[in-house]
Structure 1
Amino acid sequence: MSITFRKSYRILPGVRLNISRRSWSITLGGKHGPRHTISSTGRRTSSMDLPGPFGIRRDHRRR
Structure 2
Amino acid sequence: MPLTFRKSFRILPGVRLNINKRSWSITTGGSSGPRHTHSSTGRRTTSMDLPGPFGWRRTRSAGRR
TM-score by length of 2: 0.94
Deviation beyond 3 Å, 4+ runs, structure 1: none
Letter in 2 for 1:2: P
Residue of structure 1 equivalent to 2:6: 6
SS of the equivalent of 2:42 reads: coil
Count of matched residue positions in the alignment of Structure 1 and Structure 2: 63
Question: Where do residues 22-61 of structure 1 align in structure 2 (5 Å cutoff)?
Answer: 22-61=22-61
SS of the equivalent of 2:36 reads: strand
Q: Using the alignment, how far apart are the partners of 1:27 and 1:46 within structure 2?
A: 9
Residue of structure 2 equivalent to 1:17: 17
Alignment RMSD (CA, Å): 0.5
Unaligned runs of 5+ in 1: none
